[in-house]
Structures are given as C-alpha cells and as structure tokens.
Amino acid sequence: MPSIIPAAVPTTMTSREIADLTGKQHAHIMRDIRAIIDRLKADPNLDWHCETETYSDEQGKPREMYRMDKDTTLTLVSGYDAVLRFRIIKRWQELEATPPQTFDLATMTGQALRELACKIEECAALNARVITMQPKADFYDHVAGSDALFERADAAKILRTGPQRLWRQLREWKIVQAGGQPYQKYYDQGYFRMVPVLINKGEYSIPYQQVMVTGKGLVFLKALMDSKVMQGKSLVVGEAA
C-alpha cells in the first residue's frame, strides 16, 4: 500500500484571537470581517481565505467565528491604528516561526474525519453567502464608476440611513466640518463635489454651493459605514476606502 504524505496545515488566525490582540469586541471583529469579504469578493482574481467555524462560549453555547489566512488578516487590520496592526504582525511572526502541524488521513479517527468534513461544508456555506452578496457588490461597482452626483438626501437613502444622521456621523469621523462642508482632502480624493445652484428668495436668486456626493464617494461611505472601525477618530484617507 503506498504511503500517504502528511499534508501541512496552513497557518491561520481566528477572529477570536484578533479580538484578544486588539481589545475589540468579537462581534465587532466579525462585522469588520464580513465587510472586508464583501469588498474582496468583487475581484475574482484575489486569492483570499476566510472560513466559518463553531466554538463553545463560556456557557457552552455554540458560537461562530472566522478563520483567515495571513493576507486576509492583514487586509482586515489595515484600517486599524498602528498599535493594533503591530500586535497582529508580531503574532503572525510567532505563528510563522512555529513548525506547521501535519495530519495523515490514514491515521485520522472517524471523529476527526467528520470534523474535517464539517469544516469543508462550512467553507462551502460561506462561499454560497458570498455568491448571494454579489449583486450588491456589482451595484456599488457600477455606482463607483459612474459620473452621477447625489444630493445629501439621495445619498442617505441609498445608504439606508437619514441625511441628518449620516452627516452627524461624518462629523464624528472628521470627514465633514461642523458647518457640513467636507474637509479638502476628501474633495481631493474625489468623494465630494461642489455644484453651484440658485436658491429663489422672492424676487431674488441667491447663488449657493451645494455639496454633492460622487459615485466614488458613495462607495467609500458605504465601506466606512460597514466597517465602523474609525468611529470617533480622524480618518486616514485610503485606510478605510
């Protein structure tokens, strides 16, 4: 009987470990991962890896967590601050310095084989959810490449929020100023545009510069709202885009 060469188990990191390293709530890490997956799946050429696993919490109840490879993990934490990114990088260095685990299918027990089959099914289920989300990604890709401009109310409606709530959140994220005007760097990034309009005041028309959200800006705001990793902090252009 030919011998079976043990297969190396790839190095991965779980969402629970990321939560421990960053001090963030696990539910928030899970939310951030889902937002990242929603963006990565739009490009079929990207080789990302994320699978769902089940663990038992302190009460013995089954809970879900994610397990990701290095590239996907570093993509996730690219929007976090420097301290949190450094912690994750140091942990990956420790993981890569550890000899990889191997398994031999010939020596695996029935229980171990069943667990392996469950992992394969969970991965297939995650891929099915990714396919389900594809139309949503296609829509935002189309919007990002268009020349359309959106008023504040229309942009809020597409983002499924209210205009006052949206602009209040953007002020907290330091994207717009207290008066509602975006900071210059976000104009430079092409997320907003000023459009001259006339407001009728009786017999007179008063010129006014109205803030409009571009298609690129709409996708930027959607990704930012999904991740919510920069809430209350000054956003660094490009990290959450």
Residue-wise pLDDT tens digits, 202-223? 666 677 688 889 888 888 888 8
Report yes or no: 71 and 48 within 8 Å, Cβ to Cβ.
yes
Average pLDDT over the chain reads: 75
DSSP state of 182: B
Asked if 79 and 119 sit in the same domain, the reply is yes
Residue 70 phi, psi (nearest 5): -65, -50
Predicted confidence band of residue 131 (pLDDT cuts 50, 70, 90): very low
- Tell me, yes or no, if the pTM score tops 0.75: no
Amino acid (one-letter) located at 8: A
b/e per residue 55-86 (b: at least 16 CB within 10 A): eeeeeeeeeebbbbbbebbebbbebbeeebbe
Asked if 128 and 149 sit in the same domain, the reply is no
Predicted confidence band of residue 42 (pLDDT cuts 50, 70, 90): confident
Any domain includes 139 = no
The answer to whether residue 115 scores a pLDDT higher than 70 is no
Number of structural domains (the chain) is 2
Q: Which domain holds residue 157?
A: 145-227
% of the chain exceeding 70 in pLDDT:
66
Asked if 99 and 50 sit in the same domain, the reply is yes
